[in-house]
Chain A
């Protein structure tokens, strides 16, 4: 009985892979893989249908890049500060608070990006369109900060005290100890935090569906609106496509692409985390 309950997780994985692969195979029977990978247009619902996943990937990569440009520096800074500098009481308050920040539903962040951050950015840069990757990316970055900072902080606190004491004994300041001793020692843990951050950013859906617009567009300019893989799936699901049509199958092919990407990230992250656990 208990074993069966534990096996549900295995069945779930099998279910996900089976469904994604089955529908994707049906999709690739109609659309050649080469066209999927090399076409530079994504218009699956038009009469003149094109299926170039690169278009959706460009949106995903651009928004993730913006998000990571925010989340990695700020997350690392917060982690170093909380682990090496902050007084005990501040840490006790700040950690649950960051956790709350990570628990806010993503649709709320989407609303915030569209109706608060975008108008704010438009004051600085008036030509910014109402839908854009930049504000979605910024808000997404802020959403990811808690994930990056909590794993990074755990990694740095796993560094043994004796290393720090050795450094202080040599006359190093806190900052020198933090940057030259603790950070290098915890590096694989930091790297795994970054990689998990990437996988969060790539899989994020609602912020982009709400704030980045849903027009597929091959662009690497964050100031433009564009669709990501996840936003496209939402867009199709909102309309009513007949079950079994090519349009219906595209979302599974898109989902498979997404799944493979995040799976790769998670595996690399997992091994890096294992390394920092075993280091001392």
Chain B
């Protein structure tokens, strides 16, 4: 074997240090590709759509003439669908999370539920659309309504809400529960007055992330056959005559932001694509704001709570 002298060793070390630095740069470049894509996407839509973003865009219906078209029916539809989604997904998801963390015994039913939740989180969203088409639209006869869409999206984000609830509950130390029991509280009182309040911020984070996902979902809503050209609003939930509140709107046909954008994107005229850019910009801002809020909440939570 040839004896190794000092300069050789120095050379080897220097070479490996160079590789190290090189890889650091490579990693930074890879990260930048993600960041730059996002910046390009955002800038492109802002730049192309800026001309259309004014008050009229939000207060006009979709139109055959691109310059007059707006997103009134789309944002109203999105808001109402989100309302239905939240009113089903939040109670169900939180209840399921509480059950699995606080009440469930370790048996095959619990295992079955857990496997199901993991699996559902991985099912492509379009398959939920097929479920909704077969079940809500035809079997239950809800038709292509706000109710069908809201329920579909509620099922879609249910795993997100359940997982967030469970994680929030799991981070509460056992001592809190024992303290509550020691004072004579029942299990339900412990959940109601301790577990739920302490985990509410974590649950809220999960709900916001889920809603941000639901508001951008296009495929399942197209699959249930939502119309793409809607130039009217659903009936108002508030009536002049008693009982003052009406739920007719849940059975109304509708359109939502991502579908409106899809409709405009798939048209050949450039003027409609400008509308698509403007609608997309609004949509991205909405989801970014929601996700940003969730991330900020989580960050605060992590810093503030010390048990």
Query: Which A residues touch B125, using CB under 8 A?
Result: 203, 205
Q: Inside 8 A of B99's CB, which chain A residues have their CB? A: 2-3, 5-6
In the complex, are the beta carbons of A16 and B283 less than 8 A apart? Answer: no
Chain A 230-259 residues near chain B, CB threshold 8 A: 230, 233-234, 237-238, 240, 243, 251-252, 255, 258-259
Interface window among B61-69, B154-162, B195-203, B242-250: B154-162
**Which residues, 80 to 136 on B, are CB-close (under 8 Å) to A?**
91-93, 95-96, 98-100, 103-104, 109, 112-113, 116-120, 122-131, 133-135
CB-nearest residue of chain A to B224: A237
Interface readout for A167-202 with B: 1 if CB under 8 Å, 0 if not?
A: 000000111101000000000000000001001001
A45 in the interface (beta carbon within 8 A): no
Q: Which of B28, B34, B124 contacts A203 (CB 8 A)?
A: B124
Contact A74 B126 (CB under 8 A): no
Chain A positions within 8 Å of B261 at CB level:
107-108, 111
Q: Is A114's CB within 8 Å of the partner chain B?
A: yes
With A7-B113, A100-B291, A230-B126 given, is the CB distance from A105 to B217 under 8 Å?
Answer: yes
Residues of A within 8 A of B135 (CB): 15, 19
Contact A8–B158 (Cβ < 8 Å):
yes
Is A5 a contact partner of B291 (Cβ separation < 8 A)? Answer: no
Judged by a CB distance under 8 angstroms, whether B23 is at the interface is yes
Q: Is B216 a contact of A104 with CB atoms below 8 Å?
A: yes
Instruction: State the Cβ distance, B265 to closest chain A Cβ, in Å.
Output: 5
Stretch of B167-175, B177-185, B230-238, B272-280 on the interface side: B272-280
Whole-angstrom distance between the Cβ of A113 and the nearest chain B Cβ? 10
A12, B95: Cβ atoms closer than 8 Å: no
A contacts with B, residue count (CB < 8 A)? 81
B116 touching A96, Cβ below 8 Å: no
Residue of B at shortest CB range from A95?
B295
Q: Which of A94, A111, A175, A270 contacts B280 (CB 8 A)?
A: A111
B45 / chain A contacts, CB cutoff of 8 Å: 108, 111-112
- Distance in Å: Cβ of A207 to nearest Cβ of chain B: 10
A15-54 interface with B by 8 A CB criterion = 15-16, 19-20, 22-23
Chain A residues near B16 (CB-CB < 8 A)? 173, 175-176
Within 8 Å CB of A243, what residues of B? 138
Measured in the bound complex, the distance between the Cα atoms of B261 and A114 in whole Å is 13
Indicate if A145 sits at the interface (CB-CB under 8 A).
yes
Task: Tell me the minimal C-beta distance from A242 to chain B in angstroms.
Answer: 11
Chain A residues whose C-beta falls within 8 Å of the C-beta of B133 in the assembled complex: 237
Q: Please report the C-alpha to C-alpha distance between residue A243 and residue B123 in the assembled complex, in whole angstroms.
A: 24
Question: Which of A9, A77, A86, A234 touches B113 (beta carbons < 8 Å)?
Answer: A9
Q: Does A165 contact B (CB under 8 A)?
A: no
- The answer to whether B216 and A108 have CB atoms under 8 Å apart is yes
**Within 8 Å of chain B (Cβ to Cβ): is A85?**
yes
Whether A158 sits at the interface, judged by CB under 8 Å, is no
A96 (CB) vs chain B CBs: closest residue: B295
A10 contacts the other chain (CB 8 A): yes
Residue A64 at the B interface, CB < 8 A? no
Do residues A111 and B277 form an inter-chain contact, with CB atoms below 8 A? Answer: yes
Contact call A234/B126, Cβ cutoff below 8 A: yes
For the complex, give the distance between the alpha carbons of A217 and B273 in Å: 27
Structural contact, B120 and A233, CB atoms closer than 8 A: no
Q: Is the CB of A12 within 8 A of B131?
A: yes
- The 8 Å CB contact of A108, one of B20, B23, B40, B280, is B280
Q: Would you give the 0/1 interface string for B1-37, flagging 1 where the beta carbon is closer than 8 Å to chain A?
A: 0000000000000001101100110111011011101
The answer to whether A206 touches B262 (Cβ under 8 A) is yes
Cross-chain contact of A234 among B103, B122, B222, B280 (Cβ < 8 A)? B222
Query: For residue B299, which residues in chain A have a CB less than 8 angstroms away from its CB?
Result: 96
> What does the 1/0 interface line of A61-92 toward B look like (CB < 8 Å)?
00000000000001001101110011000000
- A262:B124 contact, CB within 8 angstroms: yes
Question: Given the complex of chains A and B, what is the CA–CA distance between A199 and B119 in angstroms?
Answer: 12
> Are B113 and A6 in contact, CB atoms less than 8 angstroms apart?
yes
Q: How far is the CB of A149 from chain B (nearest CB, A)?
A: 8
Q: In this assembly, does A125 line the interface, its C-beta being within 8 Å of a C-beta of chain B?
A: no
Q: Which residues of A contact B124 (CB under 8 A)?
A: 199, 202-205, 230, 258-259, 262
Chain A residues lying within 8 Å of B60, measured Cβ to Cβ, are none
Residues of B within 8 A of A112 (CB): 40-41, 44-45
Tell me if A219 is interfacial: C-beta within 8 Å of chain B.
no
Give bound CA distance, A203 to B219, whole Å: 10
Within 8 Å CB of A3, what residues of B? Answer: 99, 103-104, 109
Cβ-closest chain A residue relative to B29: A77
Q: Is the CB of A163 closer than 8 A to any CB of chain B?
A: no
6 residue pairs of the A-B complex, CB under 8 angstroms, read A5-B99, A16-B131, A81-B28, A142-B33, A173-B16, A206-B258
Going nearest first, the 6 A-B pairs with the smallest beta carbon separation are A105-B216, A81-B27, A203-B124, A5-B95, A2-B99, A19-B134
